[in-house]
Amino acid sequence: MSEHSAIVRWQRGSDEFTRGRYSRRHEWRFDGGAVVPASAAPSNVRAPWSDPAGVDPEEALVAAIASCHMLWFLALAAERGFIVDRYEDGAAGTMQRVANGREAITDVVLHPRIVFGGERKPDAGEIAALHKSAHEHCYIANSVKSTIRIEGPP
The CATH code belonging to domain 57-150 is: 3.30.300.20
pLDDT higher than threshold 80 for residue 154: no
pLDDT, tens digit (0-9, with 9 covering 90-100), for 49-74: 999 999 999 999 999 999 999 999 99
pLDDT, tens digit (0-9, with 9 covering 90-100), for 81-118: 999 999 999 999 999 999 999 999 999 999 999 999 99
pLDDT higher than threshold 80 for residue 153: no
What percentage of the chain reaches a pLDDT higher than 90? 84
Give the E-state strand segments of the chain in sequence order. 6-9, 26-30, 35-38, 83-89, 92-97, 103-110, 112-117, 147-150
Q: Do you find a cis peptide bond into 48, omega within 30 degrees of 0?
A: yes
26 secondary structure, DSSP code: E
Q: State whether residue 78 is helix, strand or coil.
A: helix
**The whole model's pTM is what?**
0.91
Q: Yes or no: say if 51 and 97 are a contact pair by the CB < 8 Å rule.
A: no
User: Average pLDDT in the 132-154 region?
Assistant: 91
CA neighbours closer than 13 Å in the CB half-sphere of residue 72? 19
pLDDT category, 152, cuts 50, 70, 90?
A: confident
Residue 16's CB is within 10 A of a number of other CB atoms, namely: 9
* Nearest to 59, CA basis, from 26, 28, 94: 94
Sequence ranges of the domains in the chain: 1-55, 57-150
